[in-house]
């Protein structure tokens, strides 16, 4: 009877020490769940989800504060991936946060730009080049299409241009059988 | 045929199919020449890699062989003027690409003189390898077998390739295509010289020339040309896709290149016959890559091979082959297995165009509707890469891309051997192409997202850093101000012995401040009272010295003499000016809005 008690106590002690050591030794810096959610999010940094960027939204999802259907740039596929990761039911995008749009980049009409730097301050990824009272321009390859620069512009010289299909980014289509009208005489 | 007895052992690869060859039609005639077309349209996108940079302007006169666009970045190839003439346009037009989308092209209107630039032949036997390979960047030569990979990349520029064996790809396994066959029949001497150049540049010890056994004339010609060299002609059985570089290497050497390695990593390099011929012409005569041999076959009156200048309009070539026969529905670039339908009849011939087939329903019956996969695994038996096409099809069809990647979708060479044997007529390769381009697009998006994340993190860190810097600066300034004030505030604190602790000294400071404010208010009040006493004297003139007062009086007198003192009038003038400015701004805004609405 007593031996059994000692064995159990000894085991509890030994395992406790082992677990305590492991908790210190293999401590994970940061929340891996946040990083995994952040990896799914499109990094547009547009704030349409109601949070100031993709990371804060990822944090909110991880803490159960935000729903998974608040990211329009991530689209339907993004919601599905998040539902998969979080083990939640898929739900369609929340219309309050906006709708999924084809990817676009900002374009500055350089003749109209007055060089006020307001858009530069708004850009979350530093994709606008320019200085005070000098023309600004978008670094198209870095632009995430978040549209945050459009509103602050006092002269409305920024427009969103959808990314055109070129032989470079063209994709093979899903094989379909074309439907042809049959003439019946 | 006895002369073709093969002494080398052949290592048969897995799978493969033997579709009807249809090569006899276009081998009845020798390689023909075409008259100069009315215009030459040169797409910038003719090779794998970066788009070259345009070096000419519209209206420029160019000579034959003159550089039009230079290689940009590492993997890129130059483009030259195929004939002398004028650059008549630089614009987006339809290019021979499966997308059918327009892309940037340089159009040249020939002047008919065919006047060359100064050609600079190079004695490759004496020159430095590195310099030769560097000069190849200007040649515009790309792999002419159809892959169009820039050749100067395949020869390492440090001159130390580590390649011990060079395999010349002359298998030409795809049906209908005969351009390499005819080249070997007619220009075997030049090809062998080209192989010598490539062998020298690579430092390869052994050379094997792999030719399928359905080209006896070419084999005989190549054997005769290589008689006094160490090169070995290897006759391989006719089995599609033996012309794939990895399949040919296995056939000839029995060596499998690991799926995740390039051939150069295991000391092998593969060149197409037409490419080595282009190498020879570049070094021997200084000619850049201006033309290629194209098989014009299928539903045309006289199928034949032609030496075609790059940029030649498709219809010019079709007319050269006697024109298209009745029932031609469209044109295929490349062979029937791997080629694609050209978007329209106005596209030019490019470096990738080894064969053009005029297609008709008689030659290529439309595929019956696809039936469900019955898992017969005939595709797996046919796959030369040992993949499981039925699984890949399943994953591609259900958009299960990660799984498709796991099953080595990217090792698929899209040869079409699987679809050609499918009893359910499933367009398998189309599914693989779809899955591949979706995966590539997703990977690109992921990469862009990673960059965006990095840039956003950096921006947030920068803002935080600037905030801290600003705070530090403020603290520093506050500290400096405090130390300046310190002696003044310390005097009363020190005067009273019990004011040693901080709370008391704070109180003392507060009291001093309040006293100062009260004094200031008193001073202001006194000044006000003084002003009231003196009457009409303006506030800011209260304490002016007599000399300044005299000056003011003098100025006032001068202003009065010119008639500027009527203040109300001046104010009215100002108000009118402001009103006019507002009206102007409003009008401009309205005009801008109207213009916007019209747009």
Look at residue B519 in the predicted model and tell me its pLDDT.
84
Q: Give chain B positions within 8 Å (CB) of A44.
A: 452
| DSSP symbols for B353-393 | -SEEEEE-TTTSPPPPPPPPP----HHHHH-TT---HHHHH
Chain B: residue whose CA lies nearest to A45: B456
**Would you call B103 an interface residue with chain A, using a CB distance cutoff of 8 Å?**
yes
Look at residue B500 in the predicted model and tell me its pLDDT.
46
Rounded Cα distance, B321 and B523, in Å = 108
Record: contact B455-A125, CB cut-off 8 A: yes
Rounded Cα distance, A6 and B41, in Å = 91
| DSSP symbols for B90-148 | EEEEE-SSTT--EEEEEEEEE-S--PBP------TTTS-HHHHHHHHTTTT-B-TTTT-
Q: Give chain B positions within 8 Å (CB) of A54.
A: 453, 456
Q: Give chain B positions within 8 Å (CB) of A38.
A: 453
Domains of chain A in start order, with CATH, are: 32-97 (1.10.15.40), 102-164 (3.30.70.20)
Record: contact A43-B99, CB cut-off 8 A: no
Q: Answer whether B309's CB lies under 8 Å from B291's CB.
A: yes
Chain A: residue whose CA lies nearest to B399: A174
State the distance between the two ends of chain B, measured CA to CA, in whole angstroms: 75
Look at residue B484 in the predicted model and tell me its pLDDT.
81
Q: Tell me which of B578 and A179 has the higher pLDDT.
A: B578
Q: For the whole model, what pTM was predicted?
A: 0.78
Give CA separation, B469 vs B465, B466, B475, B480, in Å: 6, 5, 10, 16
* Cα B310–chain centre separation: 20
Task: For the beta carbon of residue A71, count every other beta carbon within 10 angstroms.
Answer: 29
Q: Please give the structure tokens belonging to residue B261.
A: 């390695």
- Is the bond into B241 cis (omega within 30 degrees of 0)? yes
**Would you call B450 an interface residue with chain A, using a CB distance cutoff of 8 Å?**
yes
**Would you call B367 an interface residue with chain A, using a CB distance cutoff of 8 Å?**
no
Å from A176 to nearest chain B CA?
A: 10
Å from B233 to nearest chain A CA?
A: 39
Pairing of strands B40-43, B67-70: unpaired
Record: contact A43-B98, CB cut-off 8 A: no
Biggest distance spanned by C-alpha atoms of chain A: 99
3-state helix, strand, coil in chain B (%, to 5): 45, 15, 40
Q: Give the list of residues 6+ apart from residue A49 with CB closer than 8 angstroms, or none.
A: A57, A66, A70, A71, A97
Record: contact B452-A144, CB cut-off 8 A: yes
Q: Give chain A positions within 8 Å (CB) of B95.
A: 167
Among the partner residues B95, B103, B430, nearest to A175 by beta-carbon distance:
B430
- Best of A43, A54, A170 to disrupt the B interface (most B CBs within 10 Å) is A43
Residue carrying the six token digits 């052949």 = B10
Record: contact B101-A54, CB cut-off 8 A: no
Task: For the beta carbon of residue B54, count every other beta carbon within 10 angstroms.
Answer: 16
Vertex B85 angle, CA B84 and B87, to 5°:
125
Does the predicted interface ipTM exceed a cut of 0.85? Answer: no
Look at residue B3 in the predicted model and tell me its pLDDT.
43
Q: Give chain A positions within 8 Å (CB) of B459.
A: 124-126
Q: Give chain A positions within 8 Å (CB) of B431.
A: 175
* Per-residue pLDDT in tens (0 to 9) along chain B, 599 residues: 444 445 567 889 999 999 999 999 999 999 999 999 999 999 999 999 999 999 999 999 999 999 999 999 889 999 999 999 999 999 999 999 999 999 999 999 999 999 999 998 988 888 888 888 888 999 999 999 888 999 988 887 565 668 899 999 999 999 999 999 999 999 999 999 999 999 998 889 999 999 999 999 999 999 999 998 999 999 999 999 999 999 999 999 999 999 988 888 889 999 999 999 999 999 999 999 999 999 999 999 999 999 999 999 999 999 999 999 999 999 999 999 999 999 999 899 999 999 999 999 999 988 888 999 999 999 999 999 999 999 999 999 999 999 999 999 999 999 999 999 999 999 999 999 999 999 999 999 999 999 999 999 999 999 999 999 999 999 999 999 988 876 655 544 444 444 444 445 556 677 778 888 888 888 888 876 766 666 555 555 556 677 888 888 888 888 887 766 554 445 566 677 777 778 788 777 777 777 666 65
**Would you call B451 an interface residue with chain A, using a CB distance cutoff of 8 Å?**
yes
Record: contact B441-A169, CB cut-off 8 A: yes
Q: Give chain A positions within 8 Å (CB) of B453.
A: 38, 43, 54-55
Return the half-sphere exposure (C-beta side, CA atoms, 13 A cut-off) of residue B147: 16
Q: Where are the beta strands (DSSP E) in B418-506?
A: none
Dihedral sign of CA atoms B197, B199, B200, B206 in order: negative
Record: contact A167-B103, CB cut-off 8 A: yes
Q: What are phi and psi of B452, to 5 degrees?
A: -60, -40
Residue carrying the six token digits 């101000």 = B481
Look at residue B497 in the predicted model and tell me its pLDDT.
45
Q: At what angle do helices B428-495 and B389-397 cross, to 10 degrees?
A: 60
Q: Does position A174 have pLDDT exceeding 80, yes or no?
A: yes
Å from A83 to nearest chain B CA?
A: 16
Q: Where are the beta strands (DSSP E) in B191-303?
A: 206-212, 232-236, 268-272, 291-298
Å from A28 to nearest chain B CA?
A: 20
Look at residue A182 in the predicted model and tell me its pLDDT.
76
Å from A173 to nearest chain B CA?
A: 6
Q: Give chain B positions within 8 Å (CB) of A43.
A: 448-450, 452-453, 456
- Best of A39, A138, A166 to disrupt the B interface (most B CBs within 10 Å) is A166
Enumerate the β-bridge partners of residue B79.
B69
Q: Give chain A positions within 8 Å (CB) of B434.
A: 171-175
Record: contact B449-A165, CB cut-off 8 A: no
Look at residue B495 in the predicted model and tell me its pLDDT.
44
State the distance between the two ends of chain A, measured CA to CA, in whole angstroms: 98
Q: Tell me which of B520 and A115 has the higher pLDDT.
A: A115
Q: At what angle do helices A75-86 and A32-40 cross, to 10 degrees?
A: 160
Helix, strand or coil, per DSSP, at residue B225 = helix
The continuous run of DSSP H or E covering A105 comes out as strand A104-108
Q: At what angle do helices B273-285 and B179-202 cross, to 10 degrees?
A: 60
Q: What percent of chain A has pLDDT over 70?
A: 97
Record: contact B433-A42, CB cut-off 8 A: no
Q: Give chain A positions within 8 Å (CB) of B449.
A: 41-43
Look at residue B513 in the predicted model and tell me its pLDDT.
81
CB contact burial B150-165 (16+ within 10 A = b; e otherwise): bbbbbbbbebebebeb
**Would you call B200 an interface residue with chain A, using a CB distance cutoff of 8 Å?**
no
Record: contact B434-A173, CB cut-off 8 A: yes
What number is the average pLDDT over the span A70-87? Answer: 91
Q: Which residues of A touch B (CB under 8 A)?
A: 38, 41-45, 53-55, 124-127, 142, 144, 165-167, 169-175, 177
Look at residue B234 in the predicted model and tell me its pLDDT.
93
């Amino acid at each position: 009877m007593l031996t059994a008690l000692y064995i159990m106590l000894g085991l509890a002690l030994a395992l406790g020490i082992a677990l305590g050591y492991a908790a210190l030794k293999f401590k994970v810096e940061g929340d891996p769940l946040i990083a995994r959610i952040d990896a799914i999010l499109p990094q547009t940094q547009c704030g349409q989800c109601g949070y100031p960027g993709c990371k804060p939204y990822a944090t909110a999802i991880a803490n159960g504060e935000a729903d998974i259907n608040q990211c329009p740039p991530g689209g339907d596929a993004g919601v599905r991936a998040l539902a998969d990761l979080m083990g939640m039911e898929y739900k369609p995008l929340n219309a309050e946060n906006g709708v999924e749009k084809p990817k676009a980049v900002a374009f500055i009409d350089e003749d109209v730009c007055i060089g006020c730097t307001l858009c530069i301050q708004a850009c979350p990824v530093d994709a606008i080049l320019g200085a005070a009272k000098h023309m600004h321009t978008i670094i198209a390859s870095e632009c995430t299409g978040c549209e945050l620069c459009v509103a602050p512009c006092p002269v409305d010289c920024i427009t969103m241009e959808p990314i055109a299909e070129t032989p470079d980014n063209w994709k093979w289509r899903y094989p379909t059988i074309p439907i042809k009208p049959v003439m019946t005489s | 045929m006895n002369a073709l007895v093969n002494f080398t052992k052949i290592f048969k690869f897995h799978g493969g199919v033997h579709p009807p060859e249809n090569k006899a039609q276009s081998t009845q005639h020798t390689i023909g020449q075409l008259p100069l077309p009315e215009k030459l349209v040169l797409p910038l996108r003719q090779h794998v890699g970066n788009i070259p940079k345009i070096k000419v302007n519209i209206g420029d006169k160019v000579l034959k062989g003159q550089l039009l666009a230079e290689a940009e970045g590492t993997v890129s190839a130059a483009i030259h003027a195929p004939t002398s003439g004028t650059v008549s346009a630089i614009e987006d037009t339809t290019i021979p690409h499966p997308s059918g989308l327009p892309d940037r092209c340089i159009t040249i209107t020939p002047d008919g003189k065919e006047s060359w630039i100064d050609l600079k032949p190079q004695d490759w036997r004496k020159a430095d390898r590195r310099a030769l390979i560097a000069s190849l960047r200007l040649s515009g030569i790309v792999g002419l077998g159809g892959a169009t990979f820039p050749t100067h990349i395949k020869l390492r520029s440090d001159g130390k390739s580590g390649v011990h064996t060079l395999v010349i790809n002359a298998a030409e396994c795809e049906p209908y295509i005969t351009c390499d066959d005819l080249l070997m029949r007619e220009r075997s001497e030049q090809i062998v010289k080209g192989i010598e150049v490539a062998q020298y540049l690579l430092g390869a010890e052994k050379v094997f020339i792999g030719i399928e056994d359905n080209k006896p004339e070419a084999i005989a010609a190549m054997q005769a040309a290589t008689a006094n060299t160490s090169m070995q002609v290897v006759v391989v059985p006719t089995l599609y896709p033996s012309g794939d570089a990895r399949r040919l290497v296995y056939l000839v050497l029995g060596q499998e290149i690991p799926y995740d390695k390039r051939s150069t990593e295991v000391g092998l390099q593969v060149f197409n016959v037409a490419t080595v011929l282009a190498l020879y012409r570049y070094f021997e005569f200084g000619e850049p890559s201006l033309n290629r041999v194209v098989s014009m076959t299928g539903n045309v009156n006289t199928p034949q091979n032609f030496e075609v200048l790059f940029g030649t309009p498709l219809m010019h070539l079709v007319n050269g082959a006697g024109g298209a026969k009745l029932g031609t529905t469209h044109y295929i670039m490349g062979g029937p297995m791997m080629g694609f339908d050209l978007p329209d009849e106005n596209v030019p011939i490019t470096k990738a165009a080894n064969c053009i087939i005029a297609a008709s329903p008689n030659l290529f019956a439309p595929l019956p509707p696809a039936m469900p996969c019955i898992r017969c695994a005939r595709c797996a038996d046919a796959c030369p890469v040992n993949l499981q096409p039925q699984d890949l099809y399943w994953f591609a069809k259900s958009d299960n891309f990660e799984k498709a990647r796991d099953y080595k979708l990217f090792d698929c060479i899209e040869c079409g051997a699987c679809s050609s044997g499918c009893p359910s007529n499933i367009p398998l390769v189309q599914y693989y192409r779809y899955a591949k381009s979706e995966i590539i697009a997703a990977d690109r998006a992921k990469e862009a997202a990673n960059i965006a994340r990095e840039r956003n993190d950096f921006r947030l860190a920068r803002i935080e850093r600037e905030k801290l810097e600003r705070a530090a600066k403020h603290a520093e300034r506050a500290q400096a101000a405090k130390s300046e004030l310190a002696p003044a505030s310390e005097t009363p604190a020190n005067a009273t012995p019990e004011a040693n602790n901080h709370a008391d000294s704070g109180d003392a400071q507060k009291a001093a401040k309040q006293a100062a404010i009260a004094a200031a208010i008193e001073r202001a009040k006194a000044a006000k009272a003084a002003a009231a006493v003196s009457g009409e004297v303006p506030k800011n003139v209260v304490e002016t010295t007599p000399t300044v007062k005299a000056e003011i009086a003098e100025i006032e007198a001068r202003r009065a003499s010119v008639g500027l003192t009527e203040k109300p009038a001046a104010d009215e003038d100002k108000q009118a000016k402001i009103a006019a400015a507002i009206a102007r701004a409003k009008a401009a805004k309205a005009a801008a809005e109207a213009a916007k609405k019209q747009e």
